[in-house]
Chain A
Amino acid sequence: MVGQRRLRWWAALFLAPAVVLTAVFFYYPMAYILWLSMHHWNGLSPVKPFTGLAEFRHLFKQPIFGLVIRNTAIFVVGTVVPSIAIGLALALLANRRLPFRSFLRGVSFAPYLVSFVSAGLAWVWMGSSGGLFDHLMGFLGFHPGNLVDNPSYALLYVIAMYTWKMAGYNMVLYLAGLQTIPREIYEAGAIDGLQDGWTQFRTITWPLLAESTFFVVIINLIFSFRAFSAIYVMTNGGPVNSTTTLVYYIWNLAFVQNSWGQAAAASALLLIVVLALTVGMVRYFTKESFRAS
């Protein structure tokens, strides 16, 4: 038998690779970002003078900073809400004993499997002038032309593509949640007179899915905040910066404008937002009585 002390050495050994890699590639970078956000650096120079909060001030004064925040908010809310709603609807549909339901599951999950680069390129083509969507909307007497080149539609179009890609993923998460609900609860509900589908959903299904929803919301928020490839491939943040979100802006500040200090400040900002959202969400969901009794 291995003694307690020796066991600790074994534990340390088992944990060493993961701990070292996590420290080097997650915790050190986070600390470095906070440090760099208070220094001026052009990415090339050997010196990084301390500038206090000046990088944040410069960042806030950028003419497009307000637009970037607005785009980020629209993108995150605009992708999270519909992709969850559609995902839930798909899950409810695919959970019924209908013919072709496994085909439905497969088809709606397929977009999640392809890369954002592939999906983005395909949607650029479908949204080009004379492309699929141009034709379809033509039937409605509306000719939007090239969707990704139009500052009024580009962000909405990227959101649509993103929603198409993520809804099936949310469906899978919700299907797992639905399968934990015992059928007897519906039967009992039916006896209590809860018979039509909507009432059943509102009084039984939705409350019992609270835990799934909590999880789905957090995961989707995290995914949406980090969306980069789709925007890079579809619009390069344009036109007129109309699709530049915080993550895209960070890359632009660092690698295009060589303002690494400001890029670090923007990264720190994003870090704070993501952390605050997660903590706030955890608090909210644990305080309210969302769980079914």
Chain B
Amino acid sequence: MVEATPAPKAPVSPKRRRPAEFWRYVPYMVIAIVVFGFPFYWIIVGSLSSNTAIATGSIPLFPLHPRWANYRDAWAYTNFARQVLNTLIMAVAVTASQVITSSMAGFALARMRFPGRQALFIGFVATLIIPFQVIALPIFVLMANLHWINTFGALIVPTAVNAFGIFLYRQFFLTIPESFEEAAMLDGANPWQVLWRVYWPLAKPATVTLSLLTFIAEWNSFYLPFLFTETKSMYTVQLGLVAFQGEFATVYNLLMAATVFISIPVFVLYLMGQRAIIEGIATTGTKG
């Protein structure tokens, strides 16, 4: 009996079996796509609905009379332009800082021999498991003593280093053959030049991944700016959204419109750097 069926029945299915397999899995596909995708569709429908439809809960499945004015109103009601600018400053500065500090540390950990190297590496990586909320209170006190509350300093400096980035660059630099370094050294370059002229350009995939993930994380970050800012002029986009909810909690059409335009940059970045983002997560796991 067993010998009679030599053909393997494995995920590698021969072409002729595709229709059967397809019909077997199509219900699951549909369920998954509806469960994960429908809320997005519904948010957009909600953002285009009229006040009456929202108040009475009678929202049509298809927005036949989309109210685009909701977007204009939501934008006008808050100072989103300022908040976008603040968020950009924060996100760009944090991203640049993390790229610089991580590539330097990652390079030293991957390519230089010195006592305590392993311990230092573990010391960095261990910080990944510490919830920010645990250390937030001391950092708040520290920021207050430095008079940094409500300044960009508090938004940028505490997150200027990230063990994820160090890990990412270390792994990447480990894969680069030593001959590159030796050749550069023979040309009279010092380690600083070797890093920035030889290694860093080669690590472009790591830089792209770290930059994208960091930027998205900063764009979406809430707790840190929530604690460290005070006046509206320093709000980031996520804080603006929460403040918007504080004023218009049940005006869901405007709230959803604001939610949509706040999320657009993240999706644009994702579509631009899909591979880098997915690979970054898949190979190193976290970005918190």
Residues of A within 8 A of B (CB): 1-2, 7-8, 10-15, 17-19, 21-22, 24-26, 28-30, 32-33, 36, 89-90, 93, 95-101, 103-104, 107-111, 113-118, 121-123, 125-126, 128-132, 134-135, 164, 167-169, 172-173, 175-176, 183, 186-187, 189-191, 193, 195, 200, 215, 218-219, 222-223, 225-226, 228-229, 232-233, 247, 250-251, 254, 260, 263-264, 267, 270-271, 274-275, 278
Contacts and interface: CB of A to CB of B under 8 A. Distances in A.
Interface string B176-196: 000000000110001110010
B263 interface: yes
Nearest to B43: A122
Nearest to B13: A97
Contacts of B191: 2, 7, 10, 14
Interface string B24-41: 011011001101110110
Contact of A186 (B12, B40, B216): B12
A113 B35 contact: no
B17 to A, nearest CB: 11
**Which of B108, B127, B288 has the most C-beta atoms of chain A within 10 angstroms of its own C-beta?**
B108
Contacts of B57: 129-131, 134-135
B37 A229 contact: no
A215 B285 contact: yes
Given A18-B105, A226-B132, A278-B129, A117 B278 contact: no
Interface stretch (B66-74, B202-210, B218-226): B218-226
Nearest to B220: A115
Given A98-B29, A110-B40, A219-B286, 18 more contacts: A14-B104, A21-B157, A29-B136, A30-B134, A33-B137, A93-B28, A93-B29, A98-B25, A101-B29, A113-B270, A117-B238, A121-B255, A173-B282, A183-B10, A190-B8, A229-B222, A232-B226, A264-B137
Interface string B229-268: 0000000001001100100001010011001001100110
Nearest to A118: B259
A33 B10 contact: no
Given A11-B112, A14-B195, A173-B282, A267 B120 contact: no
Contacts of B104: 14-15, 17-18
B137 A254 contact: yes
15 contacts: A7-B113, A18-B166, A89-B28, A93-B29, A97-B18, A115-B263, A116-B222, A118-B238, A125-B252, A130-B56, A130-B57, A215-B285, A226-B133, A251-B133, A270-B133
B281 interface: yes
A10 B192 contact: yes
Interface string B118-135: 001001100111111111
Contact of B129 (A17, A134, A172, A222): A222
Interface string B146-166: 000000000001111101001
Interface in B34-87: 35-37, 39-40, 42-43, 46, 56-57
B129 A95 contact: no
B242 A233 contact: yes
Contacts of B109: 15
B107 interface: yes
Interface residues of B, number: 97
A159 to B, nearest CB: 15
A115 B262 CA distance: 9
Contact of B25 (A96, A111, A222): A96
Given A26-B127, A96-B11, A15 B259 contact: no
A33 B286 CA distance: 25
Contacts of B131: 222, 225-226, 247, 270, 274
B93 interface: no
Contacts of A116: 220, 222
Nearest to B3: A191
Contacts of B166: 18
Contacts of B10: 183, 186-187, 189-190, 200
A282 B56 CA distance: 52
Given A108-B32, A110-B37, A125 B282 contact: no
A183 B190 CA distance: 46
Contacts of B241: 115, 117-118, 121
Contact of A18 (B28, B29, B124): B124
A113 B130 contact: no
B100 interface: yes
A29 B262 CA distance: 32
B161 A8 contact: no
B16 interface: no
A115 B163 CA distance: 22
A14 B105 contact: yes
B175 interface: no
B5 to A, nearest CB: 8
B282 A15 contact: no
